[in-house]
Amino acid sequence: MDLYSDSILDHYKHPHHSGVLKKYSGRAVEYNPLCGDTIQADILMDQKGKIKDVGFIGSGCAISQAAMSLLSDWLIGKTSSEIQAWNTEDMIGLLHVPISQGRSTCATLGLAAVKRAVSKKV
Amino acid sequence: MSVSKIQKDFPILKTLVHGRPLIYLDSAATSQKPRCVLDAMDEYYTTMNANIHRGVHALSEQATARYEDVRQQAAQFFGVFDAHEIVFTKSTTEGINIIARGWGDEHIGPDDDIVVSSLEHHANLVPWQELAKRKKAHLKVIPLAFDYQLDYDAFLSLLNPRTKLVCITALSNVTGTPPQLDKYITAAHAQGARVLIDAAQGAAHMPFSIRKLDCDFFVCSSHKMYGPTGVGILYGKRELLQACAPLIYGGDMVTTVDQYSAQYREIPWRFEGGTPNIAGVIGFGAALSYLAALGMDTVYQHSQELLSYAHEVFGAFSNLTLLSPMHHPAIALLSFVVSGIHPHDIASIFDSEGVAIRSGFHCAEPLHAQLGLEASARMSFGVYTAKEDIDKAEQALKKALKIFK
């Protein structure tokens, strides 16, 4: 199976939930010093502790940006504990392409930003 | 130079990657090893494995002789008269750290200047940042000029009587720029400054005569010169090494030890505390013989021809920016960025075609920042690289452009 599936390329070129949130409950930036990839994730929680909205900006490879786009769709309606339990394998499952060990940090950069954003209170 | 014949000397080039023949274009990260290097290390372990400098038994004497022979060989290879000026290290980085700690801590003081170039690898930058911090000295940087060259006039204006040390690469691992070292060394010496040359990249591609160059310190690594990992060379002028404290203390670097103090051996052995990488040094000797047999002038010419060809092939793509001098000499490697495709994605797609290249900062983050880049892709060449390998890279690039169109 090819790393650059149509779905990955589509999410990379047309990312979902792209942009910053005007109103957010948590914001975090993750940076990969090895390649310079960056993602800033904004999270808005509702009264019941579920994610109501998400927004992100970033730059980097197709895998890191598409992974964040895919993750942002999955996030809506999830609780903080559901997000904290989400791991690298789950991200690879979401991407649905073979991710080598060398690229796994690309796949999880956005997740790391989101995890920090949900644990923060603004 | 027959590349097809050379390729037969490197067993790894028969490897398949993702079912395709390996096209190895990452020699700037580490070179592949010829059979003669592997055989030399195998011979040491199978016929003379013993510790050096301490046994009187036959194997130890044999191993010691082979280890010390490589020191002579390295001196000859790099145009050094006195082999005692050659120290075996584990890497270029270690060689630089020995000078930064052992010489720098003694000879650099508050408000002194240390000059580095903006082309430096982190290995020839971070130890000087730390030295400057420890001694409250100033780190000055030679800026870039047009065409990925260093700004020589700016360098001259940086020099002053407080300039104690100039640290400069012999060949940039990002742009393939070989600064004209003799000019820098002459100007630095005129101010009384010492000069360290980082030849980690350069030593595999160009001939050196340290004696003629007259630099004060010179460092390089075996593993980029077709030898094994874990071996490097530090050259220093005799009087400077004698004024340099060791970095590693312990066995094998001492003459007499009493309970509370010790006397240290002469140079170079005082810098080689602990059991060294004996097999690695012997393997490095075989690598030096291999390069000497090819001839470094021939190796340089091959490296230059490959880059000219790569310029021709990759220069034809309008959406590529080549981070490479076009109007000045350049050798060994070609870094580039493709608009709309991240270097990581380029490297992954090249890999799917069996073509190994590097992506990222190449351990030169300040240079990328200066060029306004987050990262770049880099293909780099060795003596086994053929023009056909660059053609394969072009096919991989076309695939990447098609995927991301």
- DSSP string of B193-214, one letter each residue: -EEEEE-TTGGGTS---HHHHT
When the pLDDT of each residue in chain B is averaged and rounded to a whole number, the result is: 96
Taking the C-alpha atoms of residue B138 and residue B112, their distance in angstroms, rounded to an integer, is 6
Active-site hit among B167, B215, B220, B363: B363
Domains of chain B, first to last: 3-25+296-404 (3.90.1150.10), 38-293 (3.40.640.10)
Chain B interface mutation, best of A11, A31, A32, A35, highest count of B Cβ atoms under 10 Å:
A35
Indicate if B363 belongs to the active site. Answer: yes
Residue B349 contacts A where some CB pair is shorter than 8 Å: yes
Which member of A2, A9, A35 has the closest CB to residue B344? Answer: A35
Evaluate whether B174 touches B203 at the Cβ level (below 8 Å): no
**Predicted ipTM > 0.95:** no
Predicted confidence (pLDDT) per residue in B81-122, tens digit: 999 999 999 999 999 999 999 999 999 999 999 999 999 999
Interface size between A and B, measured as CB pairs under 8 A: 46
User: Among candidates B150, B223, B176, B181, which has minimal Cα distance to B332?
Assistant: B176
Taking the C-alpha atoms of residue B325 and residue B146, their distance in angstroms, rounded to an integer, is 9
Q: What angle do CA B39, B44, B50 make, to 5 degrees?
A: 165
Label residue B181 exposed, middle or buried (CB < 10 Å: 0-12, 13-18, 19+).
Answer: buried
pLDDT score, position B234 = 98
Which member of A4, A60, A103 has the closest CB to residue B403? Answer: A4
Residue B370 contacts A where some CB pair is shorter than 8 Å: no
For the residues B261-268, what does the mean pLDDT come to?
95
Most confident of A9-13, B277-281, B357-361: B277-281
pLDDT score, position A33 = 80
Per-residue pLDDT 10s for chain A (122 aa) are 588 999 999 999 999 999 999 999 999 999 988 777 899 999 999 999 999 999 999 999 999 999 999 999 999 999 999 999 999 999 999 999 989 888 899 999 999 999 999 987 54
Most confident of A97-106, B30-39, B245-254: B30-39
CB contact under 8 A, B361 and A9: no
